[in-house]
Amino acid sequence: MMDYRIDPLWLKLAGMNLQGAQAMAPYLQMMQKQMGQNSEMAQRVIEEYRKFLFLAMRAGHQVIPPGPINDVWMMHL
């Protein structure tokens, strides 16, 4: 089984924080307002959302995001 940490999709998703920190700032602020989260929690939810995106693309079957991840998914759409 391939290590997900070297999968090109994961590397691209993992780079979102580094390459797009300024682009993510408004999104994080929106999460904090709409979801009532502090900055640390918003960052944690974004990290879990990133994992969900990877799983959704690589699972080979339908996946359903849990609670807060679903909220982020809806905001993203």
Between 35 and 23, the more confident residue is 35
Q: Could you tell me what percent of the chain has a pLDDT over 70?
A: 84
User: Average pLDDT of 21-45?
Assistant: 78
Place of tokens 């999460």: 31
In angstroms, the CA 53 to CA 60 distance is 13
Q: Is the pLDDT of residue 18 over 60?
A: no
Contact 46, 21 (CB under 8 A): no
**The model's pTM:** 0.74
| Contact present, 65 and 52 (Cβ < 8 Å) | yes
Confidence grade of residue 56 (pLDDT, cut at 50, 70, 90) = very high
